[in-house]
């Protein structure tokens, strides 16, 4: 990496925020599982790389039924949480990668050549808030809004209320190194509302409002979900295949949610 | 930058750019050659080492992220000239063919066993799911880890005489 970026290694969250600034031409190194190969193998040449390993952004805290998870928290620390998180995490990469990859990185992962960022749909279904900094200062916003407008943002943490129940329906992978082509997360909130999020159905995780509105009829919700997505072809699955399977996954997620305590 | 890591019990000071993968520091600066540079993309498992006891892909880990950490590789599994019980099981069950994946498998399986992993093949397969063996040796690998989990003991002078002699030759 002789022509690599200038590497910044903040030792506190405040320093990380200050060094990130507006995020211009800055690559954020979370776990590094995407970025390290990208810097080596692609033609990406960011001017600066902000390494967060010593910035104190990892950790999980709970206050009054609300969880806050630091951006640098590795995915394996989420493995014992309630569904849809646990089931989702169990289908991300493999044991070693889950120990290194982070929640913040997962929320920032792009569908450049694969449907990355499996937890995006789960966070949307949970009604999670994402706190980030960048140009214009700090923002705290619903996950779906963050995902639609996340260029040059540094994620600090994610918080959500513990759900009454959750479920995760997915297309299984041929191997741990395959990406999940399509998945649906379903959550029943503490006040009884049903929320649905999908992965692999658009440029990032998407909420499924039409399916939520039809959620009392699981099959109808499945069909309705097609109005909420932007299906695409990639090396793992065709848009045609995703169109055939999305209604099934929505129905299965709602079936599971009904069964869940 | 200059930083310290512990490799197989020995404290080492290394000079490297902060984003250099641990794999390259181990192989090129420290001459620790058991972690292999396979896909270098996190997808094959052969670079796996233990970082503070947990298996990690050394090809994906920036060296600055493991400052002060304790790294273990195959070289540290047993004293020179000796084998760990897992390595003995590996030989007994012919779990290595070409051997390129073996180091990564051994480290992940060592972590699995140290965490109290059982001899159940499904559990072992979950723990080793990120590792690829292109000689199609998975059944033998599962057998070997299973045997080590049970604490099976072997007389390698009779069960795998030829292979053991070869290894002894390498050691000497």
Q: How far is B26 from chain A (nearest CA, A)?
A: 16
CATH number at residue B29: 3.10.20.30
- Looking at the 3D structure of chain B, how many domains does it have? 2
In a domain, residue A32? The reply is no
Same domain, B15 and B90: no
| B64 → closest Cβ in A53, A175, A177 | A53
- Residue A194's domain is classified under what CATH number? 3.30.390.50
| Residue B17 C-alpha, separation from nearest chain A C-alpha, in angstroms | 8
Res B58 pLDDT > 50:
yes
Which residues of chain B make contact with A177, given a CB cutoff of 8 A?
Answer: 42-43, 130, 132
The b/e string for A192-220 (b: 16+ C-beta within 10 A; e otherwise) is eebbbbbbbbbebbbbbebbbebbeebeb
pLDDT, tens digit (0-9, with 9 covering 90-100), for A215-240: 999 999 999 999 999 999 999 999 99
Residues B64 and B90 in one domain: no
For the stretch A8-36, pLDDT in tens is 999 999 999 999 999 999 999 999 999 99
User: Cα(A136)–Cα(A94) distance, rounded to whole angstroms?
Assistant: 37
Find out whether A60 and A37 touch, Cβ atoms under 8 Å. Answer: no
Domain that holds residue A188: 165-259
- pLDDT for A79 equals 96
Chains A and B: how many Cβ contacts under 8 Å? 85
Residues in A closer than 8 angstroms to B41, CB to CB, are 37, 41
Q: Is residue A28 part of a domain?
A: no
- Shortest distance, CA B170 to any CA of chain A (angstroms): 31
Check if the beta carbon of residue A177 is closer than 8 Å to that of residue B57.
Answer: no
Contacts of B45 in chain A (CB under 8 A): 94, 96
Statement to judge: residues B33 and B61 lie in one domain: yes
Whether A2 maps to a domain, the answer reads no
A200 domain residue, yes or no: yes
Question: What are the pLDDT digits (tens) for B98-131?
Answer: 999 999 999 999 999 999 999 999 999 999 999 9
Q: With CB atoms and an 8 Å threshold, state whether A53 touches B65.
A: yes
In this complex, do B61 and A100 lie within 8 Å of one another by their Cβ atoms? Answer: yes
Residues whose CB is less than 8 angstroms from the CB of residue B63 and which lie 6 or more positions away in sequence, other chains included: B3, B5, B14, B16, B17, B18, B19, B20, B21, B22, B25
Residue B147 domain boundaries: 85-171
Query: Which residues of chain B have a CB within 8 Å of the CB of A1?
Result: 17, 19-20
For the record, the structure tokens of A38 come out as: 């990208």
pLDDT of residue A261: 67
Among B64, B130, B132, select the one facing A96 at the smallest CB separation. B130
For residue range B28-51, list pLDDT tens digits in order: 999 999 999 999 999 999 999 999
């Amino acid at each position: 990496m002789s022509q690599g970026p200038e590497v910044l290694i903040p030792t506190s969250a405040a320093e990380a925020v200050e060094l990130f600034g507006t995020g211009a031409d800055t690559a954020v190194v979370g776990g590094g599982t995407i970025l390290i190969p990208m810097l080596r193998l692609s033609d990406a040449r960011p001017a600066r790389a902000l390494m967060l390993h010593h910035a104190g952004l990892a950790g999980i805290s709970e206050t009054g039924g609300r969880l806050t998870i630091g951006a640098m928290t590795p995915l394996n620390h989420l493995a014992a949480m309630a569904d849809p998180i646990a089931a989702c995490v169990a289908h991300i990469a493999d044991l070693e990668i889950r120990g290194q990859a982070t929640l913040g990185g997962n929320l920032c992962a792009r569908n450049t050549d694969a449907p990355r960022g499996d937890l995006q749909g789960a966070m949307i279904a949970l009604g999670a808030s994402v706190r980030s900094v960048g140009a214009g200062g700090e923002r705290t916003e619903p996950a779906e809004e963050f995902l639609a407008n996340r260029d040059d943002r540094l994620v600090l943490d994610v918080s959500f209320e513990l759900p009454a129940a959750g479920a995760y329906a997915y297309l299984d992978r041929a191997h741990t190194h395959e990406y999940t082509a399509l998945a649906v997360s379903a959550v029943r909130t503490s006040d009884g509302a049903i929320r649905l999020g999908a992965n692999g159905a658009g440029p990032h995780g998407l909420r499924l409002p039409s399916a939520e509105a039809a959620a009392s009829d699981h099959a109808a919700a499945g069909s309705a979900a097609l109005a909420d997505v932007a299906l695409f072809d990639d090396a793992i699955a065709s848009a045609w295949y995703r169109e055939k399977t999305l209604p099934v996954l929505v129905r299965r997620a709602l079936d599971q949610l009904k069964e869940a305590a | 930058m200059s930083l310290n890591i512990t490799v197989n019990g020995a404290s080492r000071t290394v000079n490297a750019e902060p984003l250099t993968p641990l794999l390259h520091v181990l192989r090129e600066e420290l001459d620790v050659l058991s972690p292999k540079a396979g896909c270098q993309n996190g997808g094959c498992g052969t670079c796996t080492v233990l970082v503070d006891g947990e298996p990690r892909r050394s090809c994906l880990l920036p060296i600055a992220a493991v400052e002060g950490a304790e790294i273990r590789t195959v070289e540290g599994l047993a004293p020179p000239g000796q084998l760990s019980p897992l390595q003995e099981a590996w030989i007994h069950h012919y779990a290595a063919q070409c051997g390129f994946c073996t180091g990564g498998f051994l480290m992940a399986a060592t972590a699995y066993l140290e965490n109290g992993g059982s001899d159940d093949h499904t559990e072992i397969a979950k723990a080793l799911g990120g590792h690829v063996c292109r000689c199609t040796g998975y059944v033998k690998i599962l057998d070997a880890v299973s045997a080590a989990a049970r604490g099976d003991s072997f007389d390698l002078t009779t069960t795998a005489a030829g292979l053991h002699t070869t290894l002894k030759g390498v050691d000497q």
